[in-house]
Structure 1
Amino acid sequence: MNTDISSNHDGQRPRVALIAGPTASGKSDLAVRLAQSVPRAVVINADSAQVYADLAVLSARPGPDEMRGVPHRLFGGWDGAQACSAADWAAAARDAIDAAHAADALPILVGGTGLYIRTLLDGIAPIPPIDPDVRAAVRAMPVAQAYAALRREDRARAAALAPADATRIARALEVVRSTGTPITVWQAQREGGIADRIALSAVVLMPDRDWLYQRCDQRFAAMWHAGAIDEVRALLARGLDPDLPVMRAIGVRDAAAFLAGECDAATAIAAGQQATRNYAKRQYTWLRHQPPAQWPRLTHENYAENANLAALFQL
């Protein structure tokens, strides 16, 4: 991500706040507290699970009590039958940000989905729509076959991918076959980013890992007993494509296995907790290395009880 926040004090650019953090880090609470510390604000979701209406419980989407009267946008806005791509979300986020500015409110982006954040700020490669026949043929190939084909047709991209990375291999192969141009060439061209027209105040939450993993375990267990089973039961009843993002969300497969009688509740909960910790670890690694170095990294002690949030965000 190449976003520059040197313009934080440029009064000519509309202000946007961003709270990026791993799951269970308390970022939603921090967003609401920040919103309450300024005259007017809107919290905008940047979490790829919380966009789905079907995942109120398993995504830990904030409820009315947690929103505390602060307007929230892009939470639960997509039906699970429709995949929300990074481009889809970024387009909706741009509209939400513009609407907030038109209302003289501070947009506060909150989430931990790096691809969403990067797409919004830096833009997205203008790759043309993939030919459906090409996509179907590529996606039907075993990963070893697809990787061998990619090595012939886009050697540079193949060299950058692990041979078992089925998703990225298929994407690279379908792009080069459909457009005749390697995906890396497309990715060098970015359009639609907003970083050059806003003044961004961003922070990255980096809490203690032991504390974070304990929170992950506690939260998943609480979800399980707060309606996760009913939520997954309703999802399964819809007969959705198992490859849709909503069906691959953390906890869905574990709850589905329990409902099918394949494991007991304790085993399903333990599996969901482990998956949550693994996800938090991946987010933690991404957040440590990928956002710009000038974005402040905050420990739990820096943000949990900080009473001067406007100063923390340089607002």
Structure 2
Amino acid sequence: MGVARRAVLIAGPTASGKSALALEKARALDGIVVNADSMQVYDSLSIVTARPQPDELAQAMHKLYGFVPAATRFSTGGWLAAVSEVIADPGLGDRPLIFTGGTGLYFDALINGVAVVPPVPQAVVERIEHEVGALDREGRRAMLAARDPAMVDRLPEPDRQRLVRALAVLEATGKSLAAWQDETQAGLLDGFEVERLVLNPDRDVLRDRIARRFAAMVDQGAVEEVAGLMAQNLDARLPVMKAIGVREIAAWQAGEMSREAAIERAIIGTHQYAKRQRTWFRNRMGDWDWIE
């Protein structure tokens, strides 16, 4: 038997140093860095989403960064299909793959597989988004319980995006998302030697990193980047429009808030996102190697 191909999985909250560690691993192993962050896939936001910049890209091969048009609703299934192509690429041989990002669902799908759900018509999604839009947490839970009780245990505290997804799948396919999930296809890392890491920096350290990083983004071109995105006149409900920093910078540029207020709100939003990421990783990646 030959030596198993190596995969290194590096998860962690935003600004925890994942990209730097991935680059270090890639250089040491002659490996390829593969993006596992749902916002870094989009082509219009490089600085705002903290994608690797040219000096980093020059040091190792990077895959699945900035390859999806901003107007696209990209899914976990779409990412997994793209990863399958990377794994099968004969030009890459058996070089190690270093997956890094903050999207827990991507890692979960990579290891355990993903439900292959038929496409849902955009008109269905938009109508349900309108229904769900004004609901608070209790209202969302009640709506899910009434329409799709099979999903209640899987989404005990459904946010708007996941509720819309569940109800849209039910309406479009006539079958609960829970049933589709039970038909999940296998993950992609069978036969790999897998190393699984979660970066878990001290909260105060992370807080400082988040603040410094966003201030640097503003100085390095985030304002111009958001202006370019807004010029595309995209639907505000698209995932790319919800990237942290987009609404805040757009409001600042429109004169609706000050520069200081926009930066402060974006930093607070990033802290809240990092907290949600930590919770997800604790609940779903407790058996990974945690780096404090």
Q: TM-score, normalised by structure 1?
A: 0.83
User: CA 1:130/1:65 → structure 2, altered by over 3 Å: closer, same or farther?
Assistant: closer
On the 8 A contact 1:158/1:169 being kept in 2, the answer is no
Q: Would the aligned equivalents of 1:146 and 1:170 in 2 still touch at CA under 8 Å?
A: no
Do the aligned residues in 1 keep the contact of 2:140 with 2:159 (CA within 8 Å)? no
Tell me the equivalent position of 2:216: 222
Give how far 1:174 is off.
Answer: 2.4
Cα separation, 2, equivalents of 1:64 and 1:136? 37
Structure-2 residue corresponding to 1:65: 55
Contact kept, 8 Å, 1:175 with 1:182, in 2: the verdict is yes
1:82-97 correspondence runs (5 A): 82-97=72-87
SS of the equivalent of 1:83 reads coil
What residue number does 2:289 align with?
296
Shift of 1:172: 2.2
Aligned counterparts of 1:280 and 1:150: Cα–Cα separation in 2: 26
Residue in 2 aligned with 1:46? 36
Q: Which residue of 2 is the match for residue 176 of structure 1?
A: 170
Q: Is the 8 A contact 2:115 2:180 kept in 1?
A: yes
Change (3 A) 1:183 1:77: same
Counterpart mapping for 1:1-315 below 5 A: 13-38=4-29, 40-99=30-89, 102-130=92-120, 134-142=124-132, 150-158=144-152, 161=155, 165-293=159-287, 295-299=288-292
Q: 1:176/1:31 Cα in 2 relative to 1: closer, same or farther (>3 Å)?
A: same
The 3-state SS of whatever aligns with 2:270 is helix
| Same amino acid, percent of matched pairs | 41
Question: Which secondary structure state, in structure 2, belongs to the residue aligned with residue 203 of structure 1?
Answer: strand
Task: Verify the 8 A CA contact 2:23 2:33 in the aligned structure 1.
Answer: yes
Instruction: Kindly provide the amino acid, as one letter, of the partner of residue 253 in structure 2.
Output: L
Structure 1 position 131, deviation (Å) = 5.0
Q: How many residues align?
A: 288
Task: Determine helix, strand or coil for the equivalent of 2:190.
Answer: helix
Structure 1: distance between partners of 2:274 and 2:122 = 34
Q: Deviations over 1:179-200 (max 9, x none)?
A: 3322212212211421333221
C-alpha change, 1:33 and 1:292, in structure 2 (3 Å) is same
CA spacing shift, 1:236–1:153, aligned 2, 3 Å: closer
Offset at residue 99 of structure 1 (A): 2.5
Worse-superposed segment, 154-163 or 63-72: 154-163
Larger radius of gyration: 1
Structure 1 position 287, deviation (Å): 1.6
Q: Is the 8 A contact 1:52 1:77 kept in 2?
A: yes
Q: CA deviation at 1:176?
A: 2.5
Contact 1:130 1:175 in 2 (8 A): yes
* Paired residue type of 1:297: W
- Say if 1:160 and 1:267 are closer, same or farther in 2 by CA, change over 3 A: same
CA distance in 1, matches of 2:161, 2:239: 13
Root-mean-square deviation (CA), in Å? 2.4
Partners in 2 of 1:91 and 1:167 — Cα distance?
A: 22
Separation of aligned partners in 2, 1:36 and 1:135? 43
